[in-house]
Structure 1
């Protein structure tokens, strides 16, 4: 590895080592590198895209042919200030634990044709300062438009994939409970809550103070005409939830709650971490998830609240919320049947009742995530932090003190969400 100013970058020797594990008959000749994401697409780490060129020895012949492979690799931000502001090193370790321990345990349940989820990229190497994986663009996957949000078909595809992913955790709990416990135990070998834990409250206080004040201002200005009494009630409920003495504790409590639907959550299930491709056959997989840095052990409803409250509009939810949850529920039950999970609580009617209760309970968690996800997803790229700027330029700034201020579209989405949760008696 080459290191300068604490920056880790892939060298030709390391690339050769990575490729040799899978294809020993390939001789790497050269590679080209470029940034792997744009401003506003990624905040806690830096992505680079490689095009690796070489020659491959043909089997049973002396002939060699040209060979290429595309690789994405992720490293920590150049700026130590930015690493500290986003707790990038903690998040990076969490993602490594997911790829090296949690995912192998879940994937092992899919032997003998019992496949319910293939939405994780092929990982070449994962260590505390570097993760290298396949470039999913080579298989036709593309990121959605964060400023547009997810459309109905994309939501259905994502929920189908999430159902399979969550089913693997429920199966692991039943079939190998000791392994689930080992990987979910705080301080153990698996993933753990990296953000919403009470000891982080002071660390994130300024960030969420800015985010909360922005949200209160947006909602106050964007509320449609209504009776004075209703307006006062709406603002009082929002301000109570966002009070800085209790907000972070509430989010931590929701994230840590355990129950019958406790699983390994993706943890950051928003538009930029969901890749889609057009179906090319009845068995082709159309959704892949990336960026498992915020993986946590908690209710599967945490992922659903993240997706449905941060990546859709109020209009979509008003018309399709129940049908979308039914879609997820149907695929979850089907995946559990494939995995041969037998617990009586997997009865479809029982599962639906538990699921709807947990979605209601996690509504506030979705709003808490929306405080920074909606401003980030709706801002223009030139308003987002640039993680690829040089170290000297970055250090002159104060660091991440809060999400970018939300514009009119953000205010509309935030206001719709607040009113929806109040109408549902979830806030």
Structure 2
């Protein structure tokens, strides 16, 4: 049932009772709109089914009272709440994903932003790391209120096409700034990232069969593709230890170069702003539910294995890593810190390589397939919920190129 100050119009949804004009007015005041009065709000779902399986994301239009000039205005915000599917909501709660994202948006990202602003020249490209979060709470449910970046001109790249070279370079340079600022924060205050431990060690196994079912589906697909039958057995062997191996790779290693990871660094979690020539000039990152402390290789492997265009994936991964490293070194130097060598970064990439196998077999089919995977059904144990993705032509092309490469690199047994 809609609230009395929540408008139901074409394309809108009934808002939760707690998502009302008073809440949105409070958030706008905290963002600096001190004198606005919200008369009513209208609410839409902000993402297609499957795009943000770890949450329900609402786009809220705030209808403002008329000002002194007699003109009424409007503002837009996003509100993030627990997912609507019961199975997913339970898994999200067990893994503490909202607690993790709240820590990032309310505490850590502002601190990282402040560190960068102390040392970078004014107006540095892509200066903001993320949207602002003016308000969050835990009752009656956990929720976050966020800036809506869309009215500011930010938008996502096309998911199935993947990132072209300009977009990918912009993404890795921004990621390097993010990682550098987080590393500086951890150096200054090692306790800053409390609560950002390995997320896979915090869940009770709800995702385990989701991982292994997806890897088995990839093996079954290889067995059905002429010339790829040999990789089916390798994937099935990989599956036997995949959960423990991927969990271990998420641990921060003492004595190694560690950063706060975005944790879910793929094309849909990067928003771009463009210059007058239509070229990407800056980014904002969204969705920090899986952020944790570990090697930067994890974010890089996630992006490389799920989110690039064919041309960039085949021909420019080396360039992306060099550009990432150059931006990391440059930003850390401004912060008074040393970066690992390029050789050390490449060692991290090789040691964490099995994570790319996970990215390609578990995540890529969900991200690239034309038909949306029902993640809720998969988490409830429906092994066939994502099987359709492996029949998708785009997914097949990617896996037929990536899996032999993983075998050559020693990431598959």
TM-score, with structure 1 as normaliser: 0.82
CA distance in 2, matches of 1:156, 1:141: 17
CA distance in 2, matches of 1:379, 1:423: 26
Q: Which residue of 1 aligns with 2:304?
A: 308
CA distance in 1, matches of 2:380, 2:410: 37
Q: State the shift of 1:300 in Å.
A: 0.5
**2:177 pairs with one of 147, 164, 167:** 164
Cα contact 2:209–2:381 (8 A) shared by 1: no
**1:211 pairs with one of 206, 209, 214:** 214
CA distance in 2, matches of 1:302, 1:159: 13
How has the CA–CA distance of structure 1 residues 420 and 398 changed in structure 2, closer, same or farther, with 3 Å as cutoff?
closer
Q: State the shift of 1:53 in Å.
A: 2.1
Q: Which residue of 2 aligns with 1:125?
A: 135
CA distance in 2, matches of 1:36, 1:88: 24
How has the CA–CA distance of structure 1 residues 319 and 224 changed in structure 2, closer, same or farther, with 3 Å as cutoff?
farther
Question: Tell me, what secondary structure is at the counterpart of 2:245?
Answer: helix
CA distance in 2, matches of 1:365, 1:201: 20
**2:349 pairs with one of 359, 363, 366:** 359
Cα contact 1:9–1:75 (8 A) shared by 2: no
Higher RCO (CA < 8 A, seq sep 6+): 1
Q: State the shift of 1:370 in Å.
A: 2.5
Question: What stretches of structure 2 of length at least 5 have no aligned partner?
Answer: 4-13
Higher helix share goes to which structure? Answer: 1
Map 1:45-194 to 2 at 5 A.
45-55=55-65, 65-87=71-93, 90-114=96-120, 117-128=127-138, 129-174=142-187, 176=188, 179=189, 181-184=190-193, 188=194, 190-194=195-199
Q: State the shift of 1:151 in Å.
A: 1.6
CA distance in 2, matches of 1:288, 1:9: 28
Cα contact 1:44–1:88 (8 A) shared by 2: no
Q: Which residue of 2 aligns with 1:35?
A: 45
Cα contact 2:164–2:311 (8 A) shared by 1: no
CA distance in 2, matches of 1:15, 1:51: 9
Question: Tell me, what secondary structure is at the counterpart of 1:276?
Answer: strand
CA distance in 2, matches of 1:224, 1:262: 40
Aligned residues: 388
Map 1:196-235 to 2 at 5 A.
196-197=200-201, 200=203, 202-222=205-225, 224=227, 232=230, 234-235=231-232
TM-score, with structure 2 as normaliser: 0.84
**1:412 pairs with one of 378, 397, 402:** 397
Q: State the shift of 1:127 in Å.
A: 2.8
